[in-house]
């Protein structure tokens, strides 16, 4: 794992009160501090047999633990564990989700104590037990569908991801959804929703340094909407909170390139570099090593990372 400096005392993100940038916003999760200018890799571990990306079907314990080991070795700072496919599919009752997630969270926490464990769920019951098992971040990808989820995060001292789905219910796909008369109209809706959600999280007791905002590409959106949100990452960053980007192999990348999930890595990395340059902080991904390398180059170009080897023209 790449060494990282600790956040300076007194640094904390705002709540949209100024022209914040990703390079000026720190983050604290599970006792770890990520300073301004430091991008964070969040590796996806899907405890499901039906993920849209075949490379992320990790229901088997051995396969899933091996995936965690590989991601950590590649530089992942956070491991995001989910037990239900995001899109439509087989019904997964709460107890089945608990069985897939809770024990695994505890195993990852024991195996990699320095890594932040996140739980990807919209159910407060699952989040509560996962936090008790060691999860330090609640990734609420369905925008508060369960209103108690944010309170679970607060009670456990966990971080919380505020997302935007345009009112879509869990595990549904968008159909002719609109935000005003242009693709850019989605930006205003996202900003209003994230601003309100962040204020609610802080009001519920979540540490402001541990609140992330996620424009949530593809959820409740078409490809034009998702492209507009990448293009306007700076507007989301200006809310003054760490921005999480979940871009990895998504349909907007696939439709832009006319490629299936297995062939979307290059497009994902291009969108990742754009979002990172515009100030996004955390990147949820299926390909931790490639993402870490792409982000390191962005940080170096931006002046936030010193190349470990820069001898050309000097030796």
Q: Residue 26 — very low, low, confident or very high, per pLDDT cuts 50/70/90? A: confident
Question: What is the predicted pLDDT for the residue at 55?
Answer: 83
Alpha helices in the chain (DSSP H): 61-73, 94-111, 124-132, 149-155, 185-204, 223-231, 233-237, 251-257, 265-277, 288-302
Give the tokens for residue 117: 């464990």
Q: Pick 6 or 202 by higher pLDDT.
A: 202
Q: Looking at 105-109, 167-171, 195-199, which range is the least confident one?
A: 167-171
Decide which of 186 and 50 is more confident. Answer: 186
Q: What single DSSP character describes residue 24?
A: G
pLDDT tens-digit series, residues 225-244? 999 999 999 999 999 999 99
- The angle, 0 to 180 degrees and rounded to 10, between the axes of the packed helices 61-73 and 94-111 is 40
Q: Three-state SS for 44?
A: strand
For residues 3 and 169, what is the distance between their CA atoms, to the nearest angstrom? 40
pLDDT of residue 260: 97
Dihedral (CA of 28, 29, 33, 36) sign = negative
Residue 2 has a pLDDT of: 47
pLDDT at 90: 87
Q: Tell me the percentage of the chain whose pLDDT exceeds 90.
A: 85
Q: What is the pLDDT confidence band of residue 24, given thresholds at 50, 70 and 90?
A: low
Phi, psi of 91 (to 5 degrees): -70, 135
pLDDT reported for residue 223: 97
Q: What is the mean pLDDT of residues 247-257?
A: 98
Where in the chain are the domains? 38-302
pLDDT tens for each residue of 153-189: 999 999 999 999 999 999 999 999 999 988 889 999 9
Look up the pTM and report it. Answer: 0.91
Residue 288 is given by DSSP the state H
Report the CATH number of the 38-302 domain: 3.20.20.20
Rounded Cα distance, 189 and 137, in Å: 25
Average pLDDT, the chain: 92
DSSP state of 99: H
Cβ neighbourhood burial of 194 (10 Å; 0-12, 13-18, 19+) = buried
Residue 41 has pLDDT above 70, yes or no: yes
| pLDDT tens readout for residues 116-125 | 999 999 999 9
Q: Collect all residues with Cβ–Cβ distance below 8 Å to 156 and sequence separation of at least 6.
A: 128, 131, 132, 135
């Amino acid at each position: 794992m790449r060494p990282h400096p600790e956040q300076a005392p007194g640094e904390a993100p705002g709540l949209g009160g100024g022209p914040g940038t990703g390079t000026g916003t720190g983050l604290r999760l599970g006792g770890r501090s990520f300073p301004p200018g430091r991008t964070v890799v969040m590796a996806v571990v899907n405890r499901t047999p039906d993920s849209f990306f075949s490379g992320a079907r990790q229901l088997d314990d051995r396969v899933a633990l091996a995936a965690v080991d590989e991601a950590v070795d590649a530089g992942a700072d956070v491991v995001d564990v989910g037990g239900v496919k995001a899109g439509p599919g087989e019904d997964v009752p709460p107890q089945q989700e608990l069985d897939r997630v809770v024990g695994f969270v505890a195993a990852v926490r024991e195996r990699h104590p320095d890594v932040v464990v996140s739980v990807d769920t919209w159910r407060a019951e699952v989040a509560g037990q996962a936090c008790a098992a060691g999860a330090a971040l609640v990734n609420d990808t369905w925008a508060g569908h369960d209103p108690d989820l944010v309170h679970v995060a607060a009670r456990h001292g966990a971080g919380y991801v505020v997302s935007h789905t345009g009112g879509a219910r869990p595990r549904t796909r968008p159909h002719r959804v609109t935000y005003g008369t242009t693709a850019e109209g989605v930006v205003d809706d996202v900003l209003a929703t994230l601003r309100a959600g962040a204020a609610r999280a802080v009001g519920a007791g979540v540490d402001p340094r541990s609140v992330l905002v996620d424009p949530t590409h593809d959820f409740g959106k078409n490809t034009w909407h998702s492209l507009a949100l990448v293009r306007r990452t700076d507007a989301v960053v200006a809310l003054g909170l760490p921005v999480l980007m979940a871009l990895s192999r998504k349909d907007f990348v696939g439709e832009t390139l006319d490629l299936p999930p297995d062939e979307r890595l290059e497009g994902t990395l291009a969108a990742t570099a754009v979002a990172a340059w515009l100030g996004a902080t955390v990147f949820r991904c299926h390909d931790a090593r490639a993402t870490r390398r792409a982000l390191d180059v962005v940080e170096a170009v931006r002046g936030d990372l010193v190349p470990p080897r820069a001898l050309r023209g000097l030796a």
